[in-house]
């Protein structure tokens, strides 16, 4: 069969591409799966998110805190204390859930268990926790659990999101909504049951996807099935609906990696809170409203001081100050430029460790 010479300029690139593609697939078979995922997801109907759920759901676990049975080997299914959710974050059985989920697991005769959506149950051990972000890292002895795929770009307000978890111990459930807001501040737990959503280290994702009791620790994914956050709290009352929060994946990864490396997250502690109200003339800086008598700032800073700079970094607001302090290691000495009764002063303060344990 003769080939028309006019077609050669078109056929040569096609044949070359097929040869290169075949070689790549032989050497790296996983490339074919990734390419298939891209092609398939690009053609998914906007009327269904079954592809996203199918991609992420196998990585979402049911988490249980339960009394142990008589021989201390399995959970007593008639004595479940807490039912919640978790996400397989890394291979070799590394699971992320919420701190407030696992606290009861430290009690005598209690244990923590992780269950796959097809019913397999594993004993889970706490690797480490971080109250400030309400995260906990668990480990189960298996390498068969699939880690969830994580988003690489920050979400945007208006993005479609799906929450996957175990609400009210009904079993794996999916709810739907959008990203309502970003960078909502939160300083972690006030008590074992109450979240502080004001100023803090969390930069929470706000969503209207229903997050019910038991969704805690579950996955918030986008329409491609990629993890954008770990569900952590919601505001539900007679007058409030559709306000839920998730810890963004970027922060989750930082916390998990530090816990795996050190067993905990180390943050500096200054021991002050802001006055919340500034004068109209004050455009930058943080006014000191409270000083912890046991904190390193006690005896150095005074109520009413305005913190203008820390280590030559100009402080615009309390959020910036919190970020700077929390990202500094305990034992580091910082230089504070302050105004006290309109007089400039410079003070040095050595940070201690942020102790976030709940009594």
In DSSP terms, 126 is beta-bridged to 138
Work out the number of other CB atoms within 10 angstroms of the CB of residue 54: 10
- The H or E element spanning position 262 is helix 249-262
Catalytic residue among 100, 223, 326, 354: 100
Number of Cβ within 10 Å of residue 233's Cβ equals 24
39: tokens are 């092609």
HSE-CB at 124 with a 13 A cutoff on CA atoms is 33
Query: Running DSSP on this structure, what letter comes out for residue 6?
Result: G
Q: What gap in Å lies between CA 127 and CA 333, rounded to an integer?
A: 30
Catalytic member of 130, 134, 305, 354: 134
Q: Which two tokens stand for residue 32?
A: 């074919």
Around Cβ 55, how many Cβ atoms within 10 Å? 20
Residue 100 annotated in active site = yes
Instruction: Judge residue 34's burial from the number of C-beta atoms within 10 Å of its C-beta, 0-12 exposed, 13-18 middle, 19 or more buried.
Output: exposed
Q: Looking at the annotation, which residues are catalytic?
A: 100, 134, 216
């Amino acid at each position: 069969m003769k080939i028309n010479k006019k077609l050669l300029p078109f056929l040569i690139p096609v044949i070359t591409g097929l040869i290169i593609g075949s070689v790549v697939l032989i050497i790296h078979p996983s490339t074919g799966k990734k390419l298939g995922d891209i092609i398939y997801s690009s053609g998914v109907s906007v009327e269904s998110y079954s592809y996203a759920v199918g991609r992420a759901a196998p990585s979402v676990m049911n988490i249980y805190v339960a009394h142990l049975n008589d021989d201390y080997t399995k959970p007593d299914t008639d004595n479940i204390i807490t039912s919640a959710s978790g996400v397989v974050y890394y291979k070799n059985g590394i699971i992320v859930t919420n701190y407030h989920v696992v606290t009861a697991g430290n009690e005598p005769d209690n244990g923590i268990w992780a269950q796959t959506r097809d019913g397999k149950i594993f004993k889970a051990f706490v690797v480490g926790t971080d109250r400030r972000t309400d995260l906990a890292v668990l480990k189960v002895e298996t390498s068969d659990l699939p880690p969830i795929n994580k988003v690489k770009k920050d979400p945007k307000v208006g993005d479609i999101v799906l929450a996957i978890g175990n609400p009210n111990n009904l079993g794996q459930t999916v709810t739907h909504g959008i990203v309502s807001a970003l960078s909502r501040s939160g300083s972690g737990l006030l008590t074992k049951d109450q979240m502080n959503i004001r100023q803090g280290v969390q930069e929470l994702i706000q969503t209207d996807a229903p997050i019910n009791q038991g969704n805690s620790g579950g996955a918030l994914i986008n329409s491609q099935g990629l993890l954008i956050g770990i569900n952590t709290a919601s505001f539900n009352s007679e007058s409030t609906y559709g306000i839920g929060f998730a810890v963004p994946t970027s922060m989750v990864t930082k916390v998990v990696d530090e816990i795996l490396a050190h067993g905990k997250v180390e943050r500096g502690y200054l021991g002050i809170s802001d006055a919340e109200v500034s004068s109209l003339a004050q455009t930058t800086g943080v006014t000191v409203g409270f000083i912890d008598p046991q904190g390193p700032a006690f005896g150095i800073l005074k109520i009413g001081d305005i913190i203008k700079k820390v280590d030559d970094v100009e402080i615009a607001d309390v959020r910036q100050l919190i970020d700077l302090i929390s990202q500094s290691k305990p034992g580091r000495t910082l230089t504070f430029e302050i105004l006290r009764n309109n007089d400039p002063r410079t003070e040095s303060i050595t940070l201690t460790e942020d102790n976030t344990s709940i009594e």
